Amino acid sequence: MIYCYHTEHGSEGIVSTKGDVYSYGIMLLETFTRKKPTDERFTGEMSLKSWVKESLPNAVIEVMDPNILSRGDEYFKIKEHCVESIMELAMSCCAESPEERMNMNDALTTLKKIKIAFLAHIEV
C-alpha cells in the first residue's frame, strides 16, 4: 500500500492514529476521484491531494469519478454539495501536520452529518 506510507507510518518506528486518519483521507480521495496517488498525472508538485485541493470549493466536479457525479444527475446540486463536503473532510484527514488532522471520531461524526444533510434533501 504505497499511499499509506507517510512519515508516521513506521519509517521512524512510530505508528499512530493520526497516521490512520491520514490513510483514511487518502482512501476517500481515491474512492471519489478513482485516481491513485501513483497515477501518472501526479508528478513534481502535483499530487492527488493538491489536485483535489485546487478543485475545492467550486470545481469539485472536475476531479470526481463521473460514475459518482455528473452534471446530468438527478439532484446534481445536492450530490455536488455532498461530495464537496466529503472531499473537505478527506483534506482535513490528510493534512500534512499530524496535529492539524482531525481524529477518527470527529471524522465519523462529520461523515454522519453529511449523510443526514444529503438524505434530508432527496426523496428517499
Write down the pLDDT at residue 2: 44
pTM: 0.84
CATH architecture of 2-121: Orthogonal Bundle (1.10)
Number of H helices and number of E strands within the chain? 4, 0
* DSSP secondary structure letter of residue 46: -
3-state class of 41 per DSSP? coil
Write down the pLDDT at residue 5: 43
Write down the pLDDT at residue 30: 97
pLDDT tens for the chain, residues 1 to 124: 444 444 444 445 567 778 899 999 999 999 999 999 999 999 999 999 999 999 998 999 999 999 999 999 889 999 999 999 999 999 999 999 999 999 999 999 999 999 999 999 987 6
Write down the pLDDT at residue 73: 87
